[in-house]
Amino acid sequence: MKKLLTTSLLGAALIAGVAQAQDTEQLRIGVDVPYEPMEYRTPEGELTGFDIELGNALCAQIKAECEWVVQAWDGIIPGLLARKYDAIMSSMTINDERRQTVLFSDPYIKPPSAWFAAADSGIDTVYPESLKGKTIGVQRGTLQDNYVTDMYGDDADISRYSTADDLVLDMDAGRVDIAFLDFPVGKSTLLDSKEGNYVTVGDMISEPEKYFGEGFGIAFRPRDKELANRFDDALATLKQNGTYDEIYDKYFKVK
């Protein structure tokens, strides 16, 4: 009797669950916070950031109800495979190693790098000729380091720092004329914290792929091809109708 009751209850719950799923699709997305400005919490504890806003917009576009699941980076792919969530949107760089275990959407952003110089430096272009004899600061071993070494190595002096903080100290000291950094890093350490003293020079840079990679992608379980395709279509639509640019400008545009 007891067994029968349990079974029927379970069955009822199942039917209810299926019925609900047919109303609106429920999706869960894994994310590791904080990684400003891609994903972080507001002082009130709300999740926000570029990934979160774009992810919500994508979900709205495919008419799904999305729930964000916070998961530490180490276990983020195992969590996806274990069905704790259905996708990962957490500034994950697309590469061949990860392609072996997950399915990636089209890249939705290439995190831009940018040039930063003191407002009164007089540097307004970043051609190798205009940086001749100047000192360029980079973080050692980053993709910015590789790019600058190959493109500017013959013309400019390159100072390599182990942390962005050391580089900022030497920018303040006047030992470095111009820095080439991940835009979010430079924005928070140079533009925002010393307002008015520093400016970006030239355009943001995220090409060529050889240096700057394929960009960030949303990861799915390999069998969820159909879901990945729907996200790709939704991303294309958002790029067309201006929603994408709106979110991008909010986080990456210099005021």
Partner 1 sequence: MEQLNGWFTDLLSNNAIFTANTLGFYWDGLVTTVQLVFLSLLIGVILAVPLAIGRGSKRRWIKLPIYAYTYVFRGTPLLIQLYLVYYGVVFFDGIQDSIFWVVFKEAFFPALIAFTLNTAAYTTEIFHGAIKNTAKGEIEAARAYGMSRKLMMRRIILPSAFRRALPAYGNEVIFMLHASAVASVVTIMDLTGAAYYVYARFYAPFDAFIFVALIYLCLTFSIMFLFRRLEKRLLAHLRPRGA
In the complex with partner 1, which residue's Cβ is closer, 11 or 153?
Answer: 153
Minimum distance between the CB of residue 135 and partner 1, rounded to whole angstroms?
9
Minimum distance between the CB of residue 175 and partner 1, rounded to whole angstroms?
6
Sign of CA dihedral 168, 138, 190, 108: negative
Rule CB under 8 A: say whether 159 interacts with partner 1.
Answer: yes
In the complex with partner 1, which residue's Cβ is closer, 85 or 161?
Answer: 161
- Cα separation, 55 vs 50, in Å, equals 8
- x-marked contacts with partner 1 along 70-109 as a string, rule CB under 8 A: ----------------------------------------
- What angle, 0 to 180 degrees and rounded to 10, lies between the N-to-C axes of helices 243-252 and 50-61? 170
Residues 116/198, Cβ–Cβ less than 8 Å: yes
- Cα separation, 88 vs 80, in Å, equals 7
In this structure, are strands 157-161 and 87-88 parallel, antiparallel, or unpaired? unpaired
**DSSP code, position 94:** P
What would the two tokens of residue 26 be?
Answer: 């429920």
Rule CB under 8 A: say whether 141 interacts with partner 1.
Answer: yes
Binding partner 1 (rule: CB under 8 A), the pick from 146, 188, 200, 206 is 146
# residues near partner 1 by CB under 8 A: 16
Question: Residue type for 226, please?
Answer: E
Rule CB under 8 A: say whether 173 interacts with partner 1.
Answer: yes
What would the two tokens of residue 122 be?
Answer: 């007089």
Rule CB under 8 A: say whether 162 interacts with partner 1.
Answer: yes
> Which part of the chain contacts partner 1 (CB under 8 A), choosing from 18-26, 40-48, 139-147, 210-218?
139-147
């900022």: which residue's tokens?
168
Binding partner 1 (rule: CB under 8 A), the pick from 9, 14, 21, 169 is 169
Binding partner 1 (rule: CB under 8 A), the pick from 41, 140, 194, 239 is 140
Rule CB under 8 A: say whether 160 interacts with partner 1.
Answer: yes
- Cα separation, 98 vs 28, in Å, equals 20
Residues of the shown chain interacting with partner 1 in the complex, contacts defined by CB under 8 A: 140-142, 145-146, 159-162, 166, 169-170, 172-175
